[in-house]
Structure formats: structure tokens, C-alpha cells
A and B are shown apart, each in its own frame.
Chain A
């Protein structure tokens, strides 16, 4: 990978020009200098010494834009066409196009950039642009729209009608892309973004392969594909889809998007764990009693009844967002911050989670909400929602006790839960530390709670540490107090939306925050046994929790049998 958006690790800002130059020079001794043609590599001892001394620095860096150092992006994305499949759909209008507009508005996209919107509907370009403008006026993160930025962005939006089942349409797409390359100077670089129904992924990928749009050019034209979740609906279908995608694209060209990984606080998890010295020594079975991860939503299924009936909480959240959070919390430190090193460690965690149908039956709880009250509003039960079977057995809640069978976490349960129509929206990771080994303050009126470290992902992003403190006075009472860091109070700045981060990463060829094929399959291999176990059980006693409560009683029992309880929000 030639380069990427530079996220400086703490301390990296202290690196001086000199240290960087010597690092480049030192690497010249051991290995070829990236980006330098073989004929320009130092060969003789004199050349190697001069490279080390920085005398040949100008020869070592002819292909770097050194003026970019210290700017917001140390490398901008190459000129490119983003081919947005499903451009007339909800995801494109609500998320993808607003993210692109925001990137354009803040000068983070290359000048030679084209958004080729592809959809089945008949549009002329002007009508489509007007529709996009209306969507942006509703969904853009920053309003009102910047007139000048919109005008120049609109010039870069083109529309191509395409029926994904029509091979001739893909032939026409090739012609259009070639013409755009010539007209707009996009140099053959193309990012295909599949924002379509998941059932169309395989077909589209196959057509892209058939017309040769996956072929990367020797003169630098790259081809990448972004695929939205859900990636399969079980292990078998995920493997099948991976196979289909793998027939056309190399794994390094594939960017499977889980927008949770683009969230600022989730990315901060890596900095929190590996950029601070004090937490990592306490991040293991010796000190941690258990971990709780909650992804709670107060919303119901909105207008997505048909989709949710086929998905449920396990496929919608557990298989991706929740397991991603588990792997980020439990992974070992990667040797480097490159995409594969990071993903290798995450995969190891997923592989170490042992869940078979027998343990799934006891360690996983499912639920479905009935009518109730949420935020002072009366809401209907799941079975009364639009497009939902009145006898539906789809779970809107799932809680699980996961054990990670490795050296670091052996014996430490990870309790995870997610649900719809819970009392509030909250995503939090809680590391519950063990109690002190010896109760020194026996006379205290209240037993101090064990230490707790909470990482709030949303809302009110931040980190909270709970510890015991003496109550002022003559006695020796101990009470729990909290030390609370609110992200917004220390960095009250405009954070990019997850889609902005991820799309820019994909354009720059940085796959760190995207999921790899084996990662997706490992996650399914955890969820599949649950679904399999449920299919053999009698019909569940749904609904089993009222909207506006924290889930079914069985979820509480799941922890109670270990002598623990869910955190109170």
C-alpha cells in the first residue's frame, strides 16, 4: 500500500524530519525503498551510507508529494470514478451521497472525481442531480448546503441507467466509464460501491467480472469494490458470496463495510487500548471479572418490517457490530497498524469463541418486544408492526454469554446484548474488574463496588472509571465515585460521519476498518449455531418483553446464574 490517511499514534507527532529521514535511510539498508524504482535503490556501500546520512534523500523520495506533510491528508486519494450501484435507494441518499458531498465540500476528494450513479430508474442527469440536491438538503450533516460546493460537486455527478439483470447494460457501463476516464481524467481508477439489495451482490459482481471491469491496469488504474452488510445470511451463504466475489476480485480489492468500525469512538478503542500504557497490563483474565457490551436501541423496526422479518437481531447486529466490538476489545496488540495485521488479530479472537448448538441453547437468550411505552409514547408490539407476520418468531432481542478460549481471556465471560425498543439508545462496553482480594474496610456501611471501566460508544461518547473513595468524616465509609471523561467536552469538534471515514479509506486503499472474508465467515460460525439451536426448539414464548424494558427475564437469568447482573443504564 503506497500510503493512507495518516492517523498519527500518540508520540508520532514528535517525530522530527531528521528521525523520519534516518528511518527512510535505515530502511534503505535493509530493504528496498518503497516507491523507488529498482534502478534507483542504493546498491554500493557508498550509496547506502549516503542514504543513511540523508545525502541521497532527494533520490529516495522522488514520488512523494513532500508538501503534503503536516496537512490534513498526507496523501490524497487518486483521481477516480465511484460507481454507486443502487444510487436511487435509501442508503445511497441517506448515507453514501451525503458523505461524498461532505468529503467534497471539505476538499478531501481529488479534483478529478466522478460519482457515476447507477440505478434501474430512468433519469436524465439534471433530474437526478435535483433529486440528490433535495436529499442532501434533508440528510447532509452540515446545513445549509454550500452553494458553491454543491455546484462543483453536482458537475461531477453522472447517471447511468442499468438493470442489473441485463448484461448489455454492463457493456454500456464499460463504454461510459472509458468515456468518463477520457473526459474527466480519472485515470482508470474505479471504486464500485454496492448499495443495492444483498440478493443482487453476486449478480452484479459476476457482471463486473464478465465485462472485465475488475481488471487492474498495469499503468496504475486500480479497481476496488465496497460491499455493504449483511454479507450473507448464514455461514453457507457468506462462503458462497465470498466464492463469487473471489472469482472476480482479489481479496485486497474487496472492502466489506460495517459502518460501526468507522465511528470515531470505535476507532478510539484502538488508541485507548494501544496508545495508553496503563490499561493494557490490566486487560486480561487476572484482573477482569467479566465484560458487558450493550447495543441498545429505543427505536422499533420503523418501516423495515419485511427486511427485519428475515434478519432479526442476531443477523442485524450480533453477527457484525457486536462481534466487531468483542474482537476489538479482546484482540492482542497487532505488530503494525496495517490492515492485515489488525484483521489477523481480530480473526484470532473470533476463532477462539467457542459456541456450539448445545452451548448456544444455554448461553444465548432471544426475545421479542410486545406493546409498551418508550419515552412517554405508547408503541405497538413487534407482531403488530407493518409487514410483520402476526405470529412472527423473529427475535428483536438477543443476549449471549461468549467465552474466548485463549490465554488472555480464559474464564472471563463476555456478555453481549442488543435489542429493539429498549428504554434508551446506548452502546457501551463495560470492563468489570475483579473485587479486591481482601476486604480491608470491613466496617464500611456499604461494600465498595469493584472497579468498572466503561467505554461509551454512543451517545455521549466517553470513558468512565469507577473507583472507591472515602466518605469525608470521622468514619471509614467507602463509596463509589466516578471519573468521567466525555469525549465532547475535551474534543468538542465536528467528527466525521462513519461513512465519510470509510469511503475516504476505500478511495485511498486503506482496508484497516473493513472486514475480511475470513472474519465474516468466523462471525457467522458463531451466530449459526444459535440460529440452528433455535430451529430445533419449540416455538418461543414471544413476545417476552414489553417495549420500554431491558429485555426478557431470561436475559437477567443468564447473568444471575453466574452471580452477576446487567449494568443498570
Chain B
């Protein structure tokens, strides 16, 4: 039923809410929203400008395995009502062995872009499916999709890539959004499965973990905007990425490594580097651990992972190493580059603090650049918006993912 909520510019409000217990009832409720006088547009009445405009630019399907994930995702999507209006379906399944049932809440959220503009509304359908229905998510989603609009699937958390429900849902999708930095363990197995989708389907893949790194990419790329440093770009010899861990052993499997690996994947894909030796664990304790923290703690910190890349003329060594830090595990703390060209050396050190990325460059030991970029961390809403806005194939993102998977070197198969 329609809900009369006072409108404030830029703040989405709930304007319609109804329950349904079958797909047919959901369809009926969706029709009622726009047929009712409360929300329907008025034609030929310019004096009543504040009408509700139904706007959809896509179908957004969120696979929410738990109710709290659904609520969290719904909040992010609601914030995008005015920016990326969509028909959103938040789908969860419960009690797989019980009888089949379906419960849905159909809502319309509206936002007033400006005082003198019409409201923009979009629909959200929260669906919980029980029993066998919950194992056939695609059958629930398919009839509710708005024709001819792209279908984006946002899959928070682990994606069961090989499972039938996942294959069915991804079969009707144009784009898959994941967040690799939330995957369990080191996350690299899921990463290679995700990369496998690129070759086997037309699906476009967006990983928040890649999108989130754009401030790093801007900062690193800016080094080589300087014509004096640009020639070194093709003579990279070492890439080192330092990441945060809370595990005193620093064992690679204990921390999600997706973000550090993507940094190397991005550089490798942009520079056309090929993998000579995939990532492997370095044995023996870290020198820094021996010197410092190990003295305070008896545990010895692992030295991380190493790999070898090649640019066709020489090898590029890769180091991905852990450091105990209060930052969330898996967060990139530093990217270091070393390039050598005609006897000259360029060393770059990129670090990030809260809202700033700091770039320092030394040429033959002399500091030649010290620049701070004001670059805010992105919220989940920003990440979702950016992932959605990257229309069509994203050659940089998919290139980074492919190169990262090659660097991992595991054959997980999607």
C-alpha cells in the first residue's frame, strides 16, 4: 500500500510496501504500484510537476545468504535510488529440506533529486524462499526481470561457483559483482574460479577488491606521467607489495591476499608481463621479523610469497609479504617498484593512509618526487555505484583478474 512519507531532497524514502506469497502476487503488486494514483505519473498537467517517475536502468539481483546480508545490501542499494534506479531483488533461501514456500516484500523507494524536479522511484523486492524453491533461484528471478534491461548479480561473500544454483543465476546475468577481499582463507582459490568465468561466459565481472584499488592505481600511474620517469616503466625489475595481517605467523593462508595479488596482476596486465614462476611461499623467517617484532614475540613471521614475471627482456621479481598491523587483514600497506635502465635506477614507494596516498620516488638514490594525493577511501555505496557504472567489458579489470589468476597459478576451474 502507498505510504505518505514527507520527502526531503536527496533522501530516499519508502513510498510503497506490500507482502506477497507467490511470484504472481509479486507481479500484481508491482503493477499496482504504478497503476495507483498515489504514485502514477500524471500526463499533460505541467502545473503538478512533482509526480513520481519510475526509472529503471537495470535489474539488480542480490544473492543474500543471510538476512543481515540482505539488510546491509538493501541499505547500500537504497542510497543509490536516485543514482542508479533499478528493479532490485534481494533473494535468500532458508530451510532447504523443508516444504517449498515463498515470502516477498515489495517496496517502492522514491527520492526527490531537487525541489523542482519529479520524484524518482524504483522497486525493491525482498524474497525469501524455503525448501526446494530456494534451490532454484533463477526460476524466481527470471519472471520478475524487466525486459531488455541488463541484469547485474551482486553476490556478497563466497560464490559457490560450481554449484547448479550459481550456474543458473549467472546464466541469466550480464554482470557479476563480488568482493574478493571478503572471501575466506587466502581467497586465491575463489579468485582463480572467478577468472575462469571470463573465458567461459560472456559475463562481465566486477570485483570490489579491484575497484577499491583505483586510488592506488592513480597514484602509481602518476609516477610515470613524468616524461623523465616514463622510460623506466618498461624496465621494471621488482614489485613488492606489503599487506596487513593479524596473524603472528604471517602464514599466507591465514589472510585474504586478493588485494595484494591484484596490485601485481594490474601491473602485469598493463605492462604485458608473463608469469615465469607462479606465487610460492618463501621458507624461513622474515629478516624484519628477526630483527624487530620477533624479539618481542617468540613467533617467527613468514616471509610471504614470491613469484617471477618476465617482460621478454628480463625477469621481474615479485614479493608479497605480510606485516603485523592494526589495519584490516589483507589491506595493502605499501607498493614498491624498482626499475633499472641503462645503469640508472628508479625506486618508487607508494603508501596509503586514511584519506591520502603518498608517493615517493628516488632516481639513483636521490629523492625526485614526494607527492600526496587526497583520495578518500570508497564506501560500499561508492564501490557498488562504480562497479555498476563501468558499463560494458572492463579490459583493465578483467586483465588484472586474468593476470592475478595466472600469478596464483592454481587450476581451480570455474
Contacts and interface: CB of A to CB of B under 8 A. Distances in A.
Closest 9 CB pairs of A and B: A70-B396, A13-B392, A67-B221, A489-B120, A492-B82, A492-B83, A65-B224, A488-B113, A14-B392
Contacts of B371: 111
B82 A65 contact: no
17 contacts: A16-B393, A58-B234, A58-B312, A62-B234, A65-B233, A67-B221, A68-B225, A71-B218, A111-B371, A146-B374, A148-B356, A460-B117, A484-B53, A486-B118, A489-B82, A489-B113, A492-B113
Interface of A: 11, 13-17, 57-58, 62-63, 65-72, 76, 105, 107, 110-111, 146, 148-149, 152, 220, 459-460, 479-482, 484, 486, 488-493
B96 interface: no
B360 to A, nearest CB: 12
Contact of B270 (A69, A107, A146): A69
A105 B55 CA distance: 32
Interface string B23-65: 0000000000000000000011000000001010100000000
Given A480-B43, A486-B117, A489-B55, 16 more contacts: A13-B390, A58-B311, A65-B230, A67-B233, A70-B396, A71-B214, A71-B218, A71-B221, A76-B225, A107-B218, A107-B222, A460-B117, A488-B117, A490-B85, A492-B83, A492-B120
B374 A105 contact: yes
Contacts of B120: 486, 489, 492
A510 B116 CA distance: 36
B395 interface: yes
A305 B377 CA distance: 48
Interface in B218-262: 218, 220-222, 224-225, 227, 230-231, 233-234
A148 B371 CA distance: 13
Contacts of B393: 13-14, 16
B92 interface: no
Contacts of B326: none
Nearest to A65: B224
Interface of B: 43-44, 53, 55, 57, 82-83, 85, 113-114, 116-118, 120, 214, 217-218, 220-222, 224-225, 227, 230-231, 233-234, 267, 269-272, 311-312, 356, 369, 371-375, 390-397, 399
A11 B293 CA distance: 53
B399 A17 contact: yes
Given A58-B311, A480-B44, A491 B83 contact: yes
Given A71-B214, A111-B371, A149-B374, A489 B234 contact: no
A460 B116 contact: yes
Nearest to A459: B116
A67 B224 CA distance: 8
Nearest to A17: B395
Given A70-B395, A459-B116, A488 B82 contact: yes
Given A14-B392, A489-B113, A66 B233 contact: yes
A277 to B, nearest CB: 15
Contact of A486 (B113, B221, B225, B373): B113
Contact of B391 (A13, A110, A152): A13
A58 B225 CA distance: 17
A480 B391 CA distance: 34
Contacts of A67: 217, 220-221, 224, 233, 267, 270-271
A444 B375 CA distance: 61
A441 B90 CA distance: 46
Contacts of B369: 111
Contact of A148 (B85, B374, B397): B374
B392 A65 contact: no
Contacts of B82: 488-489, 492
Contacts of B267: 67
Contacts of B234: 58, 62
A16 B396 CA distance: 9
Contacts of A490: 55, 57, 85
A220 B228 CA distance: 13
Contacts of B117: 460, 486, 488-489
A107 B53 contact: no
Interface centre among B230, B269, B373, B390 (most CB of A within 10 A): B230
B221 A68 contact: yes
Contacts of B396: 69-70
A149 B375 CA distance: 10
A276 to B, nearest CB: 15
B113 A482 contact: no
A155 to B, nearest CB: 12
A486 B53 contact: yes
Nearest to A57: B272
B43 A481 contact: yes
Contacts of A486: 53, 55, 113, 117-118, 120
Nearest to A462: B117
B187 to A, nearest CB: 23
Given A66-B233, A67-B217, A489 B85 contact: yes
Contact of B373 (A65, A71, A76, A107): A107
A69 B53 CA distance: 37
B114 to A, nearest CB: 7
B395 A488 contact: no
A517 to B, nearest CB: 32
B375 A107 contact: yes
Contacts of B57: 490
Nearest to B355: A148
Contact of A71 (B217, B271, B394): B217
Contacts of A107: 218, 222, 373-375
Given A62-B234, A65-B233, A67-B270, A16 B395 contact: yes
Contact of A76 (B220, B222, B272): B222
Nearest to B119: A489
B374 A489 contact: no
